[in-house]
Structure 1
């Protein structure tokens, strides 16, 4: 059974929350609250997916988007960490999935990540990934996929054109 909402595809018979499917690349994935919930974002060709929920169960939220419809903020090349964001939208709700890699060689957990949920610009939730559970890194393959799809990132405006 499939339920279509504007820009959102929910698969009622979809696979349980897990790692990215074979043939796809991980964007940012991790666990929350000692593994109680999992976030997996993947890239396969021109499709990016966002899957959130309890491991081994049906996803609580699953989105599949064309890479042109997933916003991305690439690392600007400065600062004490390397970071990027992938932004999945569902109506007026944005899911800002991010990672940050500390340049400090002494950092105990140099990789941090999470998801910020916003509605109409107001933060509804900020979930931080469990330490040591983050699978990601610079550069996200989403940047190259967006370029391959004909988009250009403007450093001046911070927007994809």
Structure 2
């Protein structure tokens, strides 16, 4: 079967992820953001007219273009970004706010205001975690709203352990939503304009957890 567009780019980034991790040693939901939105009203997206309460950035015009492939603006570093079923985009951007740089998760269609933005308050933070696997590894970005937790992941898993043969890595990226520690929904990136978790940017700007937020990212 032919590799999807951007497959070579993903493999290069996957190799970088594996090196970083070693050195440091599903069903799909149509509208999974509704889960977190119902859990807490303060996680709802801020409109362009109102703006976030603490003066943090609104979604930039170039990220709202009909053909946009990320919800990050051109001036923001992408920590993660991908499209999912239905043409929606999930992005984690390194934005500039009143208190300096911070990571912000955004979800929605590029031509409309985002359905979910987190954080919207200075006290809210996104964390990251990573673990090495044999011939690969996994990196995750996560935040919790009440008993609902979002986990964004990029994973490389070796599938061939025959001596002398190639690794044949299985590469996957997506978002898992957990309620009270149990998976409530999961959806995979479709490979369009994928930006896997950037472990270097995450390590430089986010607090790191001791272990993955979930191992249920199959």
TM-score (norm 2): 0.54
State the alpha-carbon separation in 2 of the partners of residues 67 and 136 from structure 1.
26
Is 1:24 aligned to residue 76 of structure 2?
A: yes
CA distance in 2, matches of 1:143, 1:7: 27
CA separation in 1, counterparts of 2:123 and 2:82?
A: 21
- The 3 A distance-change label for structure 1 pair 144 and 7 is farther
Q: Does 1:40 align with 2:88?
A: no
How many residue pairs get aligned? The number is: 145
- The Cα shift of 1:107 comes to 5.3
2:199 counterpart SS class: coil
Structure that is richer in strand per residue? 1
Higher helix share: 2
Distance 2:145 2:202 in 1: 18
Provide the residue aligned with 2:187 in structure 1.
Answer: 127
Candidates 186, 204, 207, aligned match of 1:144? 204
**What is residue 28 of structure 2 aligned with on the other side?**
none
* Paired residues of 2:88 and 2:107 also in contact (CA < 8 A): yes
Shift of 1:7: 6.1
Calculate the TM-score normalised by the size of structure 1: 0.71
Q: Are 1:67 and 1:145, in contact at CA under 8 Å, matched by a contact in 2?
A: no
1:79 aligns with 2:151: no
What is the CA–CA distance in structure 2 between the aligned matches of 1:68 and 1:77, rounded to whole Å? Answer: 28
Structure 1: gaps of 5 or more residues: none
Q: Which has the higher contact order (CA 8 A, sep 6+)?
A: 2
Higher Cα Rg, which structure: 2
Per the TM alignment, residue 132 of structure 1 is displaced from its structure 2 partner at its CA by 4.5
Q: Closer, same or farther in 2 for the Cα pair 1:103/1:20, shift >3 Å?
A: farther
